[in-house]
Structure 1
Amino acid sequence: MTEKFIHGYALLIGVGESAYSELSLPVTVKDTQAIYAALIDPELCAYPDDQDHIRVLNNENATKTGILDGLSWLKEKATSDPSATIFVYYSGHGWVDKNTKRYYLLQHDIKPTKIAGSALSAEDFTEALRQIQSERLLVVIDSCHAAGMATSKDADLILDKKFDEEFEDFIRVAPSKGFIRELKQGKGRLVFTSSEGEQKSWIKQDQTNSIYTYHFLEALQGAGNKPGDKEVRVSNIMNYLGQAVPETARDLYKVEQVPQNDMTGGDFVIAKLRGGKGLPDKGWEEVKPEATQTIYKIGQIIGHQQAKNILNIEKADNFHFGDVIQQK
């Protein structure tokens, strides 16, 4: 029987549908549900599949209050479990106010005419994270998405112009170095972002995931590990994303997308590797076809069932995905 990663706790936020439809990002829901499916699979990351260890906020549940309540829940988990490993994954828009230079995460219930007053500010997000007293905390921010459903440079330029005209006081950018520095203050607190500066976070052409999330899913299955490794460490993920994401962005769109990963806070285990079996003697190349098929099947099931409240991911060809709960 697979040993569970019992000290792992995750909050996965995919804003998805915005109360202001022009800002909706459907792929962010697919991203968080795919990460969730990988985390709870006993043959992959082996997180316990219950609300006590992992929570997903999508669409109308990804509100400002919902996100802050989720971070408060993680604070409680870290307090009650000194061995807790905390994982926060945010996929959605991130904008900076040109006038005040303040950074905002645009959750579901933002008001387009009052973004500064309604969006989740970097200060509030940072303060909530500081309350989580864990020496193993990973925050991943996949923001600055290519506009809407854009999957080409031309389409994104058209949507960019529309956004620039409608929200002229804001710029879509990745989290600033200052924001990241504030987030990672303290021992064992690491922050990853999907791009830097005004680079975009691009979506795969099949619309299943962002490029960043796709490679993150590969990394959770050992893409950055060595033969014999039985756990996925944050450094394994960082090293792989730093290589794979820029290569794919150049191949698909001829653009630069360089993830920002700072390991000065240390390194720690974030998940089991292949349910604790680890990588075989031939390493990642031996299991890559299986891992690719796993990601494909997760994407297919999520895509077919997206309109339902519960995605019943059943056993299929020795893949055990569990039940992916879509909170809509």
Structure 2
Amino acid sequence: MVVDKQRITQFFTELQDTICQALEQTDGQGRFQEDLWERPEGGGGRTRILQSGAVIEKGGVLFSAVHGPASEAVLKQMNSHEPADFYATGVSIVLHPHSPLVPIIHMNVRYFELSTGHSWFGGGIDLTPHYVDAEDARWFHQQLKAACDRHDPAYYSNYKTWADDYFFIRHRAETRGIGGIFFDYLRPENDDHKAALFAFVQEIGNTFAPIYTHFMQKNRSLPFGEKEKKWQMLRRGRYVEFNLVWDRGTKFGLETNGRTESILMSMPPQANWIYDYHPEPGSREEQTLFALKKGVNWV
């Protein structure tokens, strides 16, 4: 079967459905509300938001498929100089839990093509625990490595390093979380290569629900108190800082008149900042900060 934009788009719509169903079932209380939207320049999407669930305080699972004339910035990224139309589709997810002992998670899988014939895939999954637990971190990275190894033994190492570098809050000199994998501009060389890259993107998309529902079930009942909630709000603040200052997708969307509500769905419902905050020496909070470094070998 030919891998074209119609087939890729169909997979992304089905992936959104599958993930939303798994999250609702595991949460047990929350239900996604759907917001259908159209882009004046062409295309649109389905924004699905879950709020006030039993585990998920706020989460978004977004599908979009948009098209139109490609901007000069997009053409430059693709190393193309002739005018062209673009088509872009994908699924993007961010989930913020109630409990500071359940991690924040992000996933994005996407496809982009120009009418000139240029195309590429991108995506990845990364985890942002409020408290870094070595056992959970190892398990998370083992799942990603297994998914990568089914397609290319070099993928995990390469894309983990890319994630460490990308999800880095430079002005804080710390990673956003424990990383994961990140890949971008994977350009097919021929039809067979495009099919192989699409199979890899499908693998990563299908890995999301088993990973996060595992953490929802495992950590949802762990006890916590006011101290842990205070720390959670501070870590959410770091999440906001990264997304507004460093995240390319957020910046590109806002700069190109994208749909603001969908772009900013990644923001937590609440966050906090305390001036010149330093955790207590020897505390779990300090240990977490020590773990937010590049190059940690979790597997």
| TM-score with structure 1 setting the length | 0.30
Structure holding more strand per residue: 2
Structure holding more helix per residue: 2
| TM-score with structure 2 setting the length | 0.32
Q: Which has the higher contact order (CA 8 A, sep 6+)?
A: 1
